[in-house]
């Protein structure tokens, strides 16, 4: 590429001429498809910032997006994509701004007298294409992060640790347990034990479809950890088919207390913490 560096770069000169008119048109073109999702002032700020970094990069004579000269352009686009992705914009709504610059240049070119060659113009549009692709990639990456975060939050939400009684915590496990979920549940239970100072914990697996060795190992480790913290942990709701499977697998629950139902486990936990539960005898008249 044989382009002069510095202020004499013909493309930089062309861009800077009547820059305000160009930017205004650029903002207008970008704003239409966004239907007011971003304010005019905000868009102007974004476009102006991108424009300044772009002109600065181009005026070094480089047209190579991978060049160190474009570090700030890349950063500006990355930030823009990230914000758009987080706010739930579509990919088109995110990339539109980059491509709108081409049209803005075309539409305002009448006011420009630069004798830039065809080659120069094509080179610039190719550069803008690269910018657009980069923006799209940043957007996709940010979107994936958002989705992963949401999945994690969902995981947290679906694993409630509940207080059944003063000093008695319970966590009901439901559905298909993968090892990540089991791990989260167990960590939350241990944290809750610390926070509340509860001395009885119940892990209820009534709603669990299958317990394999990895899930069993998580359960065993939790019970041991709870013990070290001075709490007693009961496992309740082991259904017949799961009990048979566990036995055949060869898993030993050792001296861990197990109860058939959550109700039995609660009664046990209450008694262990000194609460006596008695049935009132019906009054005989």
Which residues contribute to the site for other proteins (CB under 8 A)?
176, 178-180, 209-214, 216-217, 240-242, 244-245, 248-251
Closer to other proteins at the Cβ: 29 or 246? 246
238-241-244 Cα angle (round to 5) = 90
Closer to other proteins at the Cβ: 15 or 215? 215
Q: Which of 10, 6, 4, 7 is nearest to 118 (CA)?
A: 10
Closer to other proteins at the Cβ: 24 or 242? 242
Residue 246 Cβ vs other proteins, minimum distance, rounded to whole Å: 9
Residue 214 Cβ vs other proteins, minimum distance, rounded to whole Å: 6
Residue 244 Cβ vs other proteins, minimum distance, rounded to whole Å: 6
Question: Which residues have CB under 8 Å from 238's CB, separation 6+?
Answer: 205, 246, 258, 260
Closer to other proteins at the Cβ: 64 or 156? 156
Residue 208 Cβ vs other proteins, minimum distance, rounded to whole Å: 10
Closer to other proteins at the Cβ: 126 or 249? 249
Cα–chain-centroid distance for residue 73? 25
Residue 95 Cβ vs other proteins, minimum distance, rounded to whole Å: 30
Residue 179 Cβ vs other proteins, minimum distance, rounded to whole Å: 6
Closer to other proteins at the Cβ: 19 or 184? 184
């Amino acid at each position: 590429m044989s382009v002069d560096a510095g202020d004499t770069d013909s493309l930089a000169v062309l861009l800077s001429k009547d820059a305000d008119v160009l930017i205004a048109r650029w903002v207008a073109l970008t704003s239409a498809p966004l239907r007011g999702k971003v304010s005019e002032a905000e868009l102007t700020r974004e476009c102006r910032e991108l424009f300044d970094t772009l002109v600065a990069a181009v005026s070094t004579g480089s047209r190579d997006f991978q060049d160190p000269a474009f570090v700030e352009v890349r950063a500006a686009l990355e930030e823009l994509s990230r914000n758009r992705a987080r706010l739930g914009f579509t990919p088109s709504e995110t990339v539109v701004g980059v491509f709108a610059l081409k049209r803005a240049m075309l539409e305002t070119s009448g006011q420009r007298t630069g004798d830039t060659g065809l080659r120069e113009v094509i080179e610039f549009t190719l550069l803008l294409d690269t910018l657009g692709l980069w923006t799209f990639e940043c957007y996709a990456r940010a979107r994936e992060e958002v989705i992963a975060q949401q999945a994690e939050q969902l995981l947290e939400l679906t694993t409630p640790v509940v207080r059944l009684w003063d000093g008695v915590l319970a966590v009901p496990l439901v559905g298909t347990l993968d090892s990540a979920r089991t791990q989260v549940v167990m960590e939350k239970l241990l944290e809750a034990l610390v926070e509340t100072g509860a001395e009885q914990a119940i892990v209820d697996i009534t709603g669990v479809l299958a317990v394999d060795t990895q899930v069993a190992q998580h359960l065993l480790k939790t019970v041991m950890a709870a013990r070290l913290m001075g709490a007693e942990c009961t496992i309740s709701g082991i259904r017949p088919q799961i009990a048979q499977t566990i036995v055949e697998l060869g898993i030993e629950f050792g001296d861990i207390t197990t109860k058939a139902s959550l109700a039995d486990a609660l009664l046990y936990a209450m008694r262990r913490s000194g609460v006596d539960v008695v049935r009132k005898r019906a009054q005989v008249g």
